Amino acid sequence: MDTKTDIKALSRAQLESALAEFGQPAFRASQIVRWLYQRGAFSFEQMSDLPVGLRSALEERFALSVPEVARRQVSADGTRKYLVRFADGVSVETVGLPAADRLTVCFSTQAGCAMGCSFCATGRGGLTRDLTPGEMLDQLTLVASDFGSRISNAVAMGQGEPFANYDALLAALRYMNAKDGVGVGARHLTVSTCGLLPGIARFATEPEQFTLAVSLHSAKQSTRDRLMPAVRKYRLRELRAALVAYAEATGRRPTLEYALVGGVNDGGDELAALVGFCSGLLCHVNLIPVNPVSGTGMTRPAAETARRFRDALMRAGVETSVRVERGADIDAACGQLRQRTKG
C-alpha cells in the first residue's frame, strides 16, 4: 500500500507550506486546488500549468487518490445516493438532492459515527475513521459530475459527527467556499452537529458565515439522554447557553433539528419543554418525522403531530418548518445512511 501522504488530506495552509518547501510561490497552491477540486484531476502529470519539475516532485512526495462510486441509486423523486469507496476500501454514503434552482449535496464527514444515537442507522456500526478534507470535497465533485451541474448547497448531514473531525471539516468547508475550489457561498454550507459544545464555541469564531444546525430531538433532559447517549455530558442548559453565545457572536440563526418519534418525544410535555427551550432564543426549528431504521423500533407519529408542534411553536413566535422527506425509497433520507450496503 502507498504510504505517501495524500495531497487531498492537506488544508490550504499545509499545502502552501509544502510548496514553500519546494521553493514555490503561494499561487501554485491555487493552481493545484483548481486541478483537485474543480477539474477532478487524477494525476499530477495532468496539471499542465505546473512546471514539469514541480509535477514530479509532487509525484514523489504525495499520493493523489480518487474515490470510486461503488453503487448508485436513483429515487423516484430524483434524489441520488452514492456509495463512495476510498483508496483504502473504506466507504461512505453521499446524497445528491436536486431542486428547480438548486443542487444540494449531503456529504459525510466520517465513515460511521461514534455517537450511537438510538434512532440513527449510521451510529449503529460505530466509527471506522475520520475522512480527510479531500474525501469530503470528492463527494461534491462526483455529485456535480453525475448531475452535470454546479453545486449550490452542501450540508454536512451524511455519516459522522462533523465536530468530532473539526480541523478536516473546516479545511473542507474553506475549499468548498473558495473561488478556486467549489465556489459555494458560506451561507449555503451547513454543518449539523449532535451538540458538541467545544465545536459550537469554535465554530462561532470562524470568520465565514457558515450555517449551523444542532440536533436537539428533545428539550427534556431524560429523553435526550436516552436518544443521544454520547452527549449526556453536555446538559441542555449548557447547550442553550452555547446557542445564545453563538447567536450573539455571529448574529446568525442556528437551526434546531427535531426528529419526531412516536411515543418518545411527541407528547404535550415534550412540546412544552421545546417551546420553553426556544423562547427568547434566536433559532429556527426544523421538525423531521423520524425515518424508519430497522432494529431501532422507532416509529413516526401521526402526520397531525408535526402540524401540532409547528402551530404551537409558531404561536410562541418560533420560526418552524417541517422537513420534506427525500429519497426514502432508496434509504437516502436523514439517518438512513449506513457504512456498507450488502449485496
Residues that bind ligand SAH (CB under 6 A): 119-120, 157, 161, 192-194, 215, 257, 259, 288, 290-291, 293, 334-335
Could you tell me which residues are beta bridge partners of residue 154?
105, 189
23 dihedral zone (left: phi>0; alpha: psi -120 to 50; beta)? left
User: Pick from 6, 138, 161, 266: which binds ligand SF4 (CB under 6 A)?
Assistant: 161
Tell me whether residue 65 or residue 215 sits nearer to ligand SF4 (CB atom). 215
Nearest-angstrom CA–CA distance, 10 and 13: 8
Which residues, 177 to 196, sit near ligand SF4 by CB under 6 A? 194
Distance CA 265, CA 258 (A): 9
CA atoms lying within 13 Å on the CB side of residue 166 = 13
157, 326 contact by CB (below 8 A)? no
Q: For residues 109 and 156, is the Cβ–Cβ distance under 8 A?
A: yes
Catalytic site residue 194?
Answer: no
Within 211-270, the residues that bind ligand SF4 by CB under 6 A are 215
332 binds ligand SF4 (CB under 6 A): no
CB of 301 to ligand SF4, least distance (A): 19
Least separation in angstroms between residue 109's CB and ligand SF4 is: 9
By C-beta, is 32 or 156 nearer to ligand SAH? Answer: 156
Q: Which residue, 142 or 290, is less far from ligand SF4 as judged by CB?
A: 290
Catalytic residue check, 93: yes
Name the minimum Å distance from CB 308 to ligand SAH.
18
Residue 323: partners with Cβ closer than 8 Å, 6 or more residues away: 286, 287, 288, 289, 334
Radius of gyration in angstroms for the set of CA atoms belonging to the chain, rounded to a whole number? 21
Q: In this structure, what DSSP letter does residue 38 have?
A: I
Out of 16, 93, 135, 257, pick the active-site residue. Answer: 93
- A 10 A CB-CB count for 316 gives 15
Q: Is the CB of 32 or the CB of 121 nearer to ligand SAH?
A: 121
Q: Residue 250: count other Cβ atoms within 10 Å of its Cβ.
A: 18
Binding map of ligand SF4 across residues 89-128, x = CB under 6 A, - = no contact: ------------------------x-xxx--x-xx-----
Which of ligand SF4, ligand SAH, none lies near 334, with the C-beta cut-off 5 to 8 A by kind?
ligand SAH
Closer residue to ligand SAH (CB): 80 or 338 = 338
Catalytic residues: 93, 334
